[in-house]
Amino acid sequence: MRSDIHDLPMVIESLLSESGAAAGLTGDDVLLDMSSLELVRFLIALEERLAVEFDDESIMNMSLETVQDIVDLVEHAHPSASEPAAR
Amino acid sequence: MEPARSAGNSLAPAQEGQWETMTAMCPGDPGRSLDVLWDTRLIDGPLNLVAMRGAFEDVARRHEGLRLRFRSLDLIPTVSIDERPSVHLELLDLTAVDPHRRGAAIDELVYQDSRRYFDLLRGPLWHAWLVRLDRNRHLLNVSFSHIIADGWACNVFVRDLLAAYRARMIAIDPFPEPAPSFAQLHGMQLERLAVTTQKSRYWQDALRPPGGRPWPAAPIGTDPNPQHRLLFAFPSQLPREIGRLAWVARTTPFVVCMCAYYLLRTFSSQERRLVIGTASHGRRGLERDAVFQSVVDPYVSIDTSRQDSVVDALRIVHESLAGAIDNLVPYTALGRAVNPAFDRQRPWPDALLCDGHFLSSSPDPFHSTAAGHLPREVRGGHVDLGTRAGGSAPRADRDVVVTQVFMPGRPRWRRQPDAAAREVGAPRGGAAAVPNRAPGIELFENRLGGSVRYDEGLGSADDMRAFALDYTRLLRALVAQPDLPLSGLESAHLAAVS
């Protein structure tokens, strides 16, 4: 797993910005404003950036509506066998 | 008639497809297409009718879409926004009616509202019934001309109505932030549906006509919306297995279900390339807070080979859907891109463009709470009157609970254009084609089942039951053998259904 994982909020913010997906504040968290297809694209990009794989159980069981949800998902991720994507 | 603040606006980009469809159904008066959306909710608790009536006005004042009316009914119409809100709220007291007759009366009321005629030139293009069932229970039925609202808008309307009601009950400002104006929504849609040469080329290729022949004129005076639907539920473990397969293929459960629909159709027709129509509201940011029409239809052109595996097919469907959404444009731009005769043939709705429809929008009537004749809970809301800035005493005794309800047995999909308008819009010489060449599917929002949407000409209810069974069987085969080539899947499927 790359050191990027320690900068997770920044990585997420950067990917959100790159994908053009919008996000809005909800309380102390940030609400993801994207369609299910965009969410899949975002998760694939996040897997590549962090060199991790999200398992299907986590994806199916977790609500993925906020940035904090994504942080929680990453905590349940496994290291990927493949090389991480270049930034 | 109320003074209009502005005259001469054109329709917003996302309204164009809806207008083309309504105009093709009833060219003389598209309002007679009876293309209506409606939303039914139960309100439990002691309702203050004065506050509720005021709340309707607040919501109509907030959303310009609810004050939109037409200045002309041409193919390229102009619309305006009334300055003052006009609320058509009717009250009906059924408390003295016995429960059996009450149920029939509500069924009829909702049915009539689902085919309500809206005078597009006079407005308002929405209407509400508030039916008193007993002292602490009311039924709310709101209907909208589809030209001003979509499914998302119905939820925004109810959310804002409850916020306004609560605000009136405890004297606070209901809406600290304004809703986006018509002009703002127009601009947002123009931006997200911007027309480019690249997008036009995408649609020219994706929607090339069969056999390279020119597109014919579209049918006029017929209703392209399927008249019947047949509900089905997936076996209990299947939705989870669909979710698992979706992530294995790095896509969504909706794409898995759409892929199964595509495969079912291609196995029976032997056509590898099919165009499937779906819908995307595409709302972002402020658009999410608007009672307005924002749906644009992506037409998903899918082409696979028999050597592709199930996972390959899922990725092809995923990319095709993503491509269609990425290239969305206003309907008239799409029409001009794919059909050089578009402007001569208008109205030219999308009836000819799709080989079938696969949608996701309806609430699930199976997994809900049934209570007597009326409620099957789908989605709820709670008007909490116990808190107020400045600290008044809790008022939980005045709270109301709002539940979206599905009306079992009502003929939801029985909608015919007005008979007189059908004569006005009789098919033009040699131009009529038969829409809905195959049953469509509409998934429940929770992906636990769906409905087959069909016309009588496509088969009986038993035929559609068999279609739903075949579809579910194919979905099970997909999740069981994701690495199987489509040729093997097809053989196994045809053997199973023969």
DSSP element (H, E) containing B141: strand B137-145
Q: Minimal CA–CA distance to B175: which of B164, B162, B183? A: B164
Helix, strand, coil tally for chain B in percent (to 5): 40, 20, 40
Summarised one tens digit per residue, pLDDT across range A69-82 is 888 899 888 888 76
pLDDT in tens, A12-61: 888 877 766 655 545 556 777 788 888 898 899 999 989 999 988 888 88
For residue B114 the two structure tokens come to 């689902």
Q: Give, in degrees to the nearest 5, the angle at Cα B99 between B98 and B101.
A: 70
Task: Give the pair of three-digit tokens for residue A6.
Answer: 């320690």
- For residues B85 and B57, the answer to whether their CB atoms sit within 8 Å is yes
pLDDT at B424 over 60: no
Contact B243 A59 (CB under 8 A): yes
Coil, helix or strand at residue B146: coil
Distance, CA of B157 to CA of B402 (rounded, Å): 13
CA distance A56 to chain B (A): 6
- Pairing status of strand B440-444 against strand B449-454: antiparallel
The CATH code belonging to domain A3-81 is: 1.10.1200.10
**Token representation of residue B196:** 């480019």
Tens-place pLDDT, residues B342-388: 999 999 999 889 999 999 876 655 544 333 333 333 444 666 665 55
Adjacent-strand bridge partners of B141? B40, B129
- Other CB atoms within 10 A of residue A26 CB: 13
Q: Best residue in B152, B238, B250, B259 to probe A by mutation, most A CBs within 10 Å?
A: B250
Which residues from B are below 8 Å from A60, CB to CB?
A: 240, 243-244, 247
Give the per-residue pLDDT at B372. Answer: 34
Q: Are B309 and B484 in contact (CB under 8 A)?
A: yes
Cα(A39)–Cα(B251) distance, rounded to whole angstroms?
Answer: 9
DSSP letter (8 states) at residue B177 = S
Structure tokens at B211: 């056999």
CA distance B373 to chain A (A): 34
In this structure, what is the dihedral angle of CA atoms B180, B182, B184, B190, given to the nearest 10 degrees?
A: 130
Bridge partner list, B203: none
Instruction: Report the mean per-residue pLDDT for chain B.
Output: 85
Q: Is B121 on the interface with A (CB under 8 A)?
A: no
Q: What are phi and psi of B461, to 5 degrees?
A: -60, -35
Global pTM reads: 0.86
Where along chain A do its domains lie?
3-81
Mean pLDDT of B298-321: 97
Model-level ipTM above the cut of 0.85: no
DSSP-assigned letter for residue B197: H
pLDDT score of B165 more than 60:
yes
